[in-house]
Amino acid sequence: MKVVSLQTRLVKTSLISSIIAGCVALLLFAVISVYQTMQMQDEIMDEISDMLQITDLTQPSGQQIDELSDEFDIQYQLRNSQQVLTQSTDFQLDPQHYSLITARQGNFGLIWQKGQLWRSYAGEDEHAPMQVLLLQPLGERFKDSLNHFAGYSLILLLVWLMQWILLHFLIKRQFKVMHQLSSEISAKNADDLSPLSTGEVELKELQPMLGQLNRLLQRLEESLHAEQRFTADASHELRSPLSAIQLRLQLLQRKYPERAGDFVQMQQDVNRGIQTLENLLLLARLDPEHANNLPKTQFDLNTVIQEAMQALALFVQEKQIQIQLDVSTQPKMLHANQQLIFTCIRNIIDNAIRYSLEHGQIYISLKQQHDVIELVIENEGQGLDNDILERLGERFYRALGTKTQGSGLGLSICKKIVELHQGKIKFSQSCYGGLKVSIQLPV
């Protein structure tokens, strides 16, 4: 679907409506002007016909007829049954039109000669055997009307131009409220779901939408708080019985050493449950009301990577995995929460180890470009589909078909930690066949 601008559409619609109305008005003006011009010119021809029949053309009044005919470009001829008595110097009538004109006594007509349309009139004196023929080029009648029409058209174009400028300015001014509202909505996030201000919005049509948006923000805020409370409360409530189960398993293991193998498996299951609860608690804590209040210190990211690798050394040895480390000896100082960054890096390396084959390799590189530090962790594997890559980082999401144990919270915790530090995390296919995790953090 093509996206269009409501502001542009309003300006265009208003201007098109005005143009249509102006064109209709101009057309009506043209029709009325043509009608009035025809009426007036016909009256002048009728008046000249009357004057020719009653005036002595040798007298000064005859000169007035010549002046009148010259002014309106009317050609005349006065004749009786035997000869032409007088005519204007430019009078010309094709013979084939003569009988046609004389047949319309007292009536006007139209003829075509010399490549143009002419208005004709034939009049006859009832008291004397005299006949008057009048001719006028039809184009001459409308010279003034055409000039007036062109002038009005130019004025109308100027009016449309001024209207377009005025509409653009006024509508843009009205849409300023909507732009401000859009900016206010864009600024909303999980830390600020306060109601939108309705006092500054003067448009009545926007008030219902604002009311619905504020109710939606309120429900969203309540849902987020309920989720955080549920996660924290459930984790706390479940930690105690799991710890008690773990303690009793240790006692049973000492009491019945011959069943140690079964107890070890049960112990591992309980440990996974405890780890899941710890992750849930961490996720709950990673939703502070104000992320800017997160305690931060200055530390070397190289050191944190080494600590994370050391914490997972036994896991690495168990799967006989080699880690290729590509970092410079120069410190990569980062201003962030060191404990959270450590947790993030440890989770990603732990994930890379879990989903690597035995005797596989993991590649870790650390680079700094200007004010951004980029950490890339890759492993060898069979690769992931694009659908799976898009969902990585969602809570409790794990790819189907994997035999590796996990809660689906590790990468979601990493994603949340990176977002809290105004960084970026990206999941993509690795050139080594596995998963590539790229993290960019501002210095």
Evaluate the CA torsion angle 328, 333, 339, 345 in order and state its sign: negative
CATH architecture type of domain 205-285: Orthogonal Bundle (1.10)
Q: Which two tokens stand for residue 390?
A: 């898009």
The answer to whether 14 and 174 are in contact (CB under 8 A) is no
β-partners of residue 441 are 373
Q: Which CATH superfamily is domain 295-442 in?
A: Histidine kinase-like ATPase, C-terminal domain (3.30.565.10)
Q: How do strand 322-326 and strand 361-369 relate by DSSP bridges? A: parallel
How would you class 43 by CB atoms within 10 Å of its CB: exposed for 0-12, middle for 13-18, buried for 19 or more?
Answer: exposed
Tens digits of pLDDT across the chain (443 residues): 676 777 788 888 888 888 998 889 888 988 888 888 888 888 888 888 878 777 665 555 556 677 777 777 888 888 777 777 888 877 888 777 776 676 666 678 888 887 888 888 887 766 667 788 888 888 777 777 787 788 888 888 898 889 888 888 888 887 777 777 778 777 777 667 787 776 666 667 777 888 888 888 888 888 878 877 776 677 677 777 878 888 888 888 888 888 777 777 788 777 767 766 776 676 666 665 556 667 889 999 999 999 999 888 888 988 899 999 988 778 889 999 888 898 899 889 998 898 888 888 999 999 988 899 999 999 987 777 777 777 675 544 455 445 455 445 778 888 888 888 889 999 888 888 888 999 999 98
Domain 6-145 coded CATH 3.30.450: yes
- From residue 251, alpha-carbon distances to 125, 186, 255, 266, 274 in Å are 143, 57, 6, 13, 18
Name the DSSP letter for residue 197.
P
Name the DSSP letter for residue 441.
E
Domain boundaries of the chain, sorted by first residue:
6-145, 205-285, 295-442
| 414 CB neighbour count, 10 Å cutoff | 24
How far does CA 140 lie from the centroid of its chain?
Answer: 55
Residue with tokens 């962790």: 377
The answer to whether 37 and 147 are in contact (CB under 8 A) is no
pLDDT of residue 213: 84
Euclidean distance between CA atoms 340 and 439, whole angstroms: 14
The answer to whether 138 and 116 are in contact (CB under 8 A) is yes
